Amino acid sequence: RHWLKLTPSDIMWNTSDTGWVKAAWSSLFAPWICGSCVFVHSMPQFKPEVIAETLSKYPITTFCTAPTAFLMLVKHDVSSYKFPSLKHCVTGGEALNPEVLAKWKIQTGVDIHEGYGQTETVRL
């Protein structure tokens, strides 16, 4: 509840592959415990334009992806897209470059909240 800031009116999209425990925590357990909707997208390959189009087309409120994915998104320059529902972004698993954090905020108006921890000690 505290990390993802999910409520029953939120829609959570986590891009983690189902082979990672992150998918279980952020795509199933945490949203369902909070009563939130889970958004699922079949995306065999990461494409920044598909991510940006999806965030602008669907009412996703909370978005979680890897720092490398955020890097690819800001390099794509998502400032021409509108994300009307997006209000909370989270990342973890590797270090997030401060420049990416700043560019994402400039391009979208939304902060990225970075977490660090072991998958065995996940917090909701």
- pLDDT at position 93 is 79
Tell me the CATH number at 68: 3.40.50.980
Q: Give pLDDT tens digits for 1-48.
A: 788 899 999 999 999 877 677 777 777 888 989 999 999 998 888 899
Q: Name which of 109, 97, 38 is nearest 72 in CA terms.
A: 97
> Which pLDDT score, from 0 to 100, does residue 94 have?
83
Flag whether pLDDT at 120 surpasses 70.
Answer: no
At residue 124, the pLDDT reads 54
Mean of per-residue pLDDT scores for the chain: 90
As a whole number of angstroms, the distance between CA 122 and CA 110 comes to 24
pLDDT of residue 121: 59
5 within a domain of the structure (yes/no) = no
At 119 the pLDDT is 56
pLDDT digits (tens, 9 = 90+) for 48-94: 999 999 999 999 999 999 999 999 999 999 999 999 999 999 998 78
Q: What is the reported pLDDT for 116?
A: 73
* Structural domain count, the chain: 1
Q: From residue 1, how far is each of 35, 85, 116 by CA, in Å?
A: 10, 18, 16
Q: Tell me the residue range of the domain where 71 lies.
A: 11-114
